[in-house]
Amino acid sequence: MSYGIERRKALKSGIPTLRRVLKYYANRLTDLRDDPELRYENNFIRNDLFLAAISVQKVLDLIDKEAELVENYVAEARDTVESAFQCYVSDLEKARSLAHDKLKVPKLIFTETEKELDEVKGAKKLSLEESGRK
């Protein structure tokens, strides 16, 4: 089996993770755009956040329509996909750290969170490896 076929199969198996990350990122962009602190700030920032959310939604729509072509969509929207992964991982790590700080239980292990981080980091690496970004 060639590398291209193996990569496509692996990438296709990561579609649920990619969708989850992109949906999360789109929601974060929308929430930030509607944040009361930004409501009265310069509209350029709010417009950029709106356009970024639309870009994410376009990638999601394309993936939903033709999942077998996901590799092409990731290549076309590489910066959007990379930003989505970075936001998702960063927020998950911050939430885990916040929970540790609030609970004051040093031995508590966030097993599900660790599994999710591992899965997302693997999907990120797979999705972005052709461009040399990881």
Indicate the pLDDT class of residue 6, thresholds 50, 70 and 90: low
Q: What is the CA radius of gyration of the chain?
A: 17
CB 127 within 8 A of CB 21: no
Q: What is the pTM of this model?
A: 0.72
C-alpha distances out from residue 10 to 7, 30, 45, 109, Å? 5, 30, 37, 29
Of 11, 85, 80, the C-alpha closest to 49 is 80
C-alpha span between 18 and 122 (Å, rounded): 11
C-alpha distances out from residue 45 to 16, 29, 66, 90, 122, Å? 30, 11, 32, 21, 32
C-alpha span between 94 and 49 (Å, rounded): 22
pLDDT in tens, 47-91: 888 999 998 998 888 877 765 566 666 677 888 889 999 999 999
Query: Given this model, what pLDDT does residue 129 score?
Result: 72
Which two three-digit tokens encode residue 112? 């599900």
Domains of the chain, by residue range, sit at: 3-131
C-alpha span between 127 and 75 (Å, rounded): 8
